Structure 1
């Protein structure tokens, strides 16, 4: 039995802790804040309740596997999962709307043909077939195995089977997601639908590799799910599973150093001077935090894969409304920006100058537990925003722009509004410790490895990394997968190659 110190109580760290405890190790989690969950938080006021992190759960099989492997109670005994249908309503810049059914290719094709014109659905359906091929080629090495030592194979090889595109005397194939949209989908609304999946993860579709096609495919193939009571309930369930497996949590305990002995990780030192010895250390923290506590740069292994830098953050607006949620309302509506280039330059350009409105996701859960009574509604707006600490004036302008976009999804929004609460990148930074509140993206193949993440092993023997800033990257499913990979590397050793 090894003594294992875990830094941070995010979902990936807790997933690793639960698995390691079941394997017979003594696990202690040290969390800087006063609660668990990392970015998966909850805000409550006047009987209203909101998720301030992720609002929906893709690929719930990851957490089903966690609960099967760590106890007799399955995930559905601990939380109530609800499949969201329609998966999303999309409002495009020209006013066209479409509702896409959940996990139904035929239904999606029919809906797009009806809304966008004959042939649009077929083009999207054909794209999904190609996206599935990219998924099949990358699923295991990117998600289910430790990062390959020869990871450059993943970096250089584009798994998406682009369609040849003839232009003048040249034949080209799409190498970026934006080119896939322009050359293969051939409709600005379909392109906006495609690009919104990358944008939701903070990726610039103009530079994101074509392999980012797996993001809409993942949602299409495995559906979109809501956790009754909010995604915070999933974090609660994982935390309680850890406690049931005798994982110890120490909150308000900031780790200031990873201790070393004989060239190996040997424990952690806390801000109050307390020293906790350990045989192994698992760090679920942002790259800059790890570099600081490990007291050396380039501590991560990964065969040379650097941590992702320069990623944007999120702006979240929580809305308390009078009057109940209308019958038949879509859980999720994506209102697409009328100024694509302006939005992308604001988010990814050097000056972050906002010239147009953002793409806004509007979440309207049908959940009595999130409101004081049936005569009220809780709505969450989210949009990508540059990482950093924005000035109050910038926050106010962006909030107003988000509300203006949300008016297209909730026409009577202003008249029903009781109050609003804004969560900025600074709030994400406080909750997670990431620089400027940056949010990690999932790992993707190709693109020269720019969207890979460092391996879960590091340059210090006995020190492992877990969570969104490590292989296989950001997002709730990926965080859960990282927990499984770290547990496998510790329990089975460096020869571990993932579960079969």
Structure 2
């Protein structure tokens, strides 16, 4: 079979590598860093360990499929998956709190009615029914199939069945997530619940299409899962599966350019001048990095989905706390912003810096592997911020102040903290400004689609969060499956059946 060069050892690239190796190809992965996993990284200090990328795994079926297709050991024999319950706890600006059960519509409806008052639960439950319809309409083209050549059909069609809304004698339907919240949910706390999902992916709810309803639905329908030992353990398992399939990894090895011969990708040139010939090249890198690897070459043809650029980034604060994790604490707590308009304006508008009280996601895993002993707790804080944002200590103090709404007495327990800024993400992933890709979404004139896995250069393919079907752990894993299918079966490949 063929020789394949994979650039980058992110989750999508490794998923492609494992599948291609099983198909009989000789696969070599070139990673400029010292380790695998891309954005799925770990920080360790003084017996504490922290995930610095995703904290939970939605839609684990993507990685179950990867392990079924690449070996005898299923995913659950390689990592321990735990379904977290409650799925999340929410602290709203008015002080109201609610904990939402995992993967239970009736339980979520009841919890919302009890915490927010009727008919909050019914409105959210009805929204989930409509979100399911959007999911059913978009699941295959946005997750399981290569991007359609006539992708504009996805760009024009709004799959979310919004409820008619009368305003000034006119009947309108919601076209954005913000309109869904205002016209169908009609409660500022339900608005925060819905828009918080978009913010976690760096999406502006005021312009994000209503089809983004599939994001909270996906979590609701398939549950929120934690990997014992941290999500980094999932990256380790995928890496070890690659090794078992004889994939070769070359760390701290930079690719200088993609070699082109007779109009097609023919290998990679390393920074020391070495050329590694290949029949196919798979690039698991951000758009700017791919441009630099093929200077003077039009990777995308006119009329294709262009690469997405300028997405927001993340600020991550790692907390080492004295005192054990209290019994019954939620794995994930979202403390919602005090001023929605200020947050959206600072994140997506012209004003710079963090808002006075940003939305903060607090991860508190119940996992002895992450702490030196039972008398300590490891906590990770995540905030969506503009890409390239310089972060000051006063910004971190603001984030800690918000977090005290979820962890009273936080500062008295704090031993030390570590900060990871957009600059860190830029350094480790190569994404300009530390931008983090969002999942692909239908409608909105294709603004939230990602470029196809195939490119204008024959033999060159793109995997990972910056290619179809976009960012997020399940989406990156699916991109690897699509790339492998296109290489093994050719352009007639139409996805899993």
Matched, 1:387 2:387: yes
2-side partners of 1:265 and 1:355: how far apart?
A: 46
2-side partners of 1:22 and 1:410: how far apart?
A: 47
What CA RMSD, in Å, does the superposition of the two structures yield over aligned residues? 0.9
1-side partners of 2:102 and 2:378: how far apart?
A: 23
1-side partners of 2:285 and 2:353: how far apart?
A: 30
1:454 aligns to what?
451
Aligned residues of 2:453 and 2:463 also touching (Cα < 8 A): yes
Matched, 1:15 2:15: yes
1:29 aligns to what?
29
Deviation, 1:274, is: 1.1
Counterpart secondary structure, 1:267: strand
Matched, 1:477 2:478: no
Aligned residues of 1:84 and 1:224 also touching (Cα < 8 A): yes
Can you give the 5+ residue segments of structure 2 that lack an aligned partner in the other structure? none
Deviation, 1:304, is: 1.4
1:76 aligns to what?
76
Deviation, 1:303, is: 4.8
Aligned residues of 1:149 and 1:303 also touching (Cα < 8 A): no
What is the TM-score normalised by the length of structure 1? 0.98
Aligned residues of 2:364 and 2:379 also touching (Cα < 8 A): yes
Aligned residues of 2:354 and 2:385 also touching (Cα < 8 A): no
Counterpart secondary structure, 1:33: coil
Q: Per-residue displacement from partner, 1:282-323 (whole Å, max 9, x unpaired)?
A: 000000000110113541359510111111100000000001
Aligned residues of 1:300 and 1:457 also touching (Cα < 8 A): no
Name the CA shift for 1:355/1:234 in 2 (closer, same or farther; >3 Å): closer
Matched, 1:437 2:430: no
Matched, 1:419 2:400: no
> What is the 5 A alignment of 1:345-424?
345-388=345-388, 390=390, 394-424=391-421
Deviates more, 1:435-444 or 1:291-300: 291-300
Matched, 1:224 2:224: yes
What is the TM-score normalised by the length of structure 2? 0.99
Matched, 1:495 2:484: no
Deviation, 1:422, is: 0.3
Aligned residues of 2:320 and 2:414 also touching (Cα < 8 A): yes
Aligned residues of 1:149 and 1:302 also touching (Cα < 8 A): no
Q: Per-residue displacement from partner, 1:200-256 (whole Å, max 9, x unpaired)?
A: 000000000000000000000000000000000000000000000000000011111
2-side partners of 1:438 and 1:402: how far apart?
A: 20
1:50 aligns to what?
50
How many equivalent residue pairs? Answer: 497
1:257 aligns to what?
257
1:330 aligns to what?
330
Can you give the 5+ residue segments of structure 1 that lack an aligned partner in the other structure? none
Deviation, 1:350, is: 2.2
2-side partners of 1:386 and 1:396: how far apart?
A: 17
1-side partners of 2:296 and 2:220: how far apart?
A: 42
Matched, 1:486 2:456: no
Aligned residues of 2:266 and 2:279 also touching (Cα < 8 A): yes
2-side partners of 1:402 and 1:363: how far apart?
A: 14
Aligned residues of 1:301 and 1:457 also touching (Cα < 8 A): no
1:428 aligns to what?
425
2-side partners of 1:190 and 1:284: how far apart?
A: 37
1:295 aligns to what?
295
2-side partners of 1:75 and 1:2: how far apart?
A: 27
> What is the 5 A alignment of 1:166-315?
166-296=166-296, 298-300=298-300, 303-315=303-315
Moved over 6 A (4+): none
Aligned residues of 2:257 and 2:292 also touching (Cα < 8 A): yes
> What is the 5 A alignment of 1:77-96?
77-96=77-96
Aligned residues of 1:302 and 1:456 also touching (Cα < 8 A): no
